[in-house]
Structure 1
Amino acid sequence: MRIFLNFFICCFSLLATAQNDDVFETANTLYNDGKYIEAIDQYESILKSGQHSAELYFNLGNANYKLNNIAPTIYYYEKALQLNPNDEEIQNNLLFAKNMTIDAIDKVPQVGFSRIINNIVNTFGTEVWAKIAIGGVILFVLLFLMYHFSYTTSKKRIAFITSIVSLFIGFFALLMAFQKESLNKKDNPAIVFVQETRVKSEANKTSEEVFRLHEGTKIQVLETYQEWSKIELSDNSIGWILSSEIKLLKGF
């Protein structure tokens, strides 16, 4: 019974993928014909089916760019970049899209020791750091066994030194993996999706306005409280904004 169920699920998945491929081609044709609204509807229907890809988000960004939809353009380019962070075309289009925004927010640069550590941590993802840690520990065990069973002093010395080095690499990579995971959890970006919003000093509408933001601006969400989100800008400015006026980038 379970084999039959898995076979049915597999067939259904393949059928859905084939249908989405047809819809994607139809959307591309509409885009090439200049029917951008219709193309967006087709692309979004694929998203609603649960299928996601960098190419799909990229095309959605392009279609919205043609319509001067600032917030959706940046949002979809950012989503595409999450799935394919090294794609130069996505990066370039995102830069062009950001030129459409009003807010010019300076980025506070990291300096000193924290900058060095963050650069090292961001060299690899959490999974890669974890694999390096496991590899270091396995190598340590093998070298330690070699040290234990070696009969010559020179081989023992080499095995001992390299095992200590591999153990250090393993623990260092493990530390980097935890640090990277911590940074990932803190990283909660969003895009402003209203033409203009008033950012408040507290989570209520009667509190003091601290600054204003406009559509397409990228922010960091620090926490949420009822209908409000506490946000931070790249210049370290902090305030509260209605959660309905932003769209989170994390999750698919």
Structure 2
Amino acid sequence: MRKTVLLICLLSLSFGFAQNKKLFDEATELYNNGEYSAAIENYKEILNNGEHSASLYFNLGNSHYKLNAIGPSIYYYEKALLLNPNNEEIKNNLRFAQNMRLDAIEEVPTTEISKIYKSAVGLFSHDGWAYLAIALVFLFVLAYMAYYFLRPANQKRAAFISSMLSLALCVVCILMAYLNFEQYKNNDPAIVFAKEVNVNSEPNIDSNTVFTIHEGTKVNVLDELDEWKRIRIADGQTGWLLGRDIKSLKDF
């Protein structure tokens, strides 16, 4: 019975993978033929099947960019970047899409130390740092076993140094994974989908408008109250807007 269930699960996974690959190949062909809307439908069907990947979101971003859809193109490029933060092609296309925005918001200046810290922690995702830590644990075990079994003094010394270095780097990777996860957890980015949004001082329509933002602007959600969300933009300004006007980037 268990073997039958396992076989059915494997067949289902295999069928789903084959179906998604067919949809992806068809979408790519549609994109190459200039049928961007049809390509988007195929890519979204793959999403509905439960598959999420940087390449899928990247292609969705490209398709919307071709249709001059500012908000969706930036949204999908940003999602692709969340899954593959070091991909230069995604970053480059995102910059092109961001140039289509009406808002030119200057970021709050940061110190060089802060830039170095963010660059180091963001070198990999928290999963990436964790996988690297696991690999270093295996390397530590192998080096320690080599130290135990080798006889020549110089080889034992090299094995011991390698094992200790692997262990130290493993601890660093675990720390980086924790810091990256905390950074990820405390960051709730979203993209404005409405053409124009008035950001208010309080979570009600009768409060004063603090500033106005437009489609494609990236915000960070700080708090929420009913259908309202308190956001901060890159220059540090904060205010409240209706949640329907933005779309979270972490809704995988």
Classify the TM-score, shorter chain: 0.7 to 0.9
How do residues 1-252 of structure 1 correspond to structure 2 at under 5 angstroms? 1-111=1-111, 114-127=114-127, 129=129, 174-252=174-252
Name the counterpart of 1:158. Answer: none
Per the TM alignment, residue 128 of structure 1 is displaced from its structure 2 partner at its CA by 5.5
Q: Distance in 1 between matches of 2:163 and 2:27?
A: 57
Query: What displacement does 1:169 show?
Result: 6.5
Instruction: Say how many residue pairs are matched.
Output: 245
Identity percentage of aligned residues? 47
5+ residue gaps, structure 2: 148-160
Q: CA deviation at 1:232?
A: 0.8
Residue identity in the other structure for 2:219: I
TM-score (ref. length: structure 2): 0.80
Change (3 A) 1:180 1:25: closer
Tell me whether 167-176 or 74-83 shows the greater mean CA deviation.
167-176
**Cα distance in 2 for residues equivalent to 1:37 and 1:130:** 38
Matched residues in 1 for 2:5 and 2:18: separation?
20
Aligned residue in 2 for 1:154: none
Q: Alpha carbons of 1:200 and 1:16: their partners in 2 closer, same or farther (altered >3 Å)?
A: same
Q: What residue in structure 2 maps to residue 151 of structure 1? A: none
Identify if the C-alpha distance between structure 1 residues 167 and 18 changes in structure 2 by more than 3 Å, giving closer, same or farther: closer
For structure 1, the 5+ residue unaligned runs are 147-160
CA distance in 1, matches of 2:8, 2:105: 52
Cα distance, 1:100 vs. partner? 0.5
Rg larger in 1 or in 2? 1
In structure 2, distance between residues paired with 1:87 and 1:249: 17
Rounded Cα–Cα distance in structure 1 between residues aligned with 2:86 and 2:54: 11
Letter matched to residue 52 of structure 2: H
Structure 2: which amino acid aligns with 1:64?
Answer: H
RMSD across aligned positions (CA): 3.4
- 17-26 or 127-136: which moved more? 127-136
**Aligned mates of 1:133, 1:37 — CA distance in 2:** 42
More off after superposition, 125-134 vs 86-95: 125-134
TM-fit CA distance, 1:219: 0.9
Cα pair 2:85 2:124 within 8 Å, conserved: no
Displacement of 1:180 in angstroms is 2.3
When residues 118 and 237 of structure 1 are mapped into structure 2, their CA distance, relative to the original with a 3 A threshold, is same
Superimposed CA distance per residue, residues 9-65 of structure 1 (whole angstroms, 9 cap, x where no aligned partner): 111111122112222222222222222222211221111111122222222111111
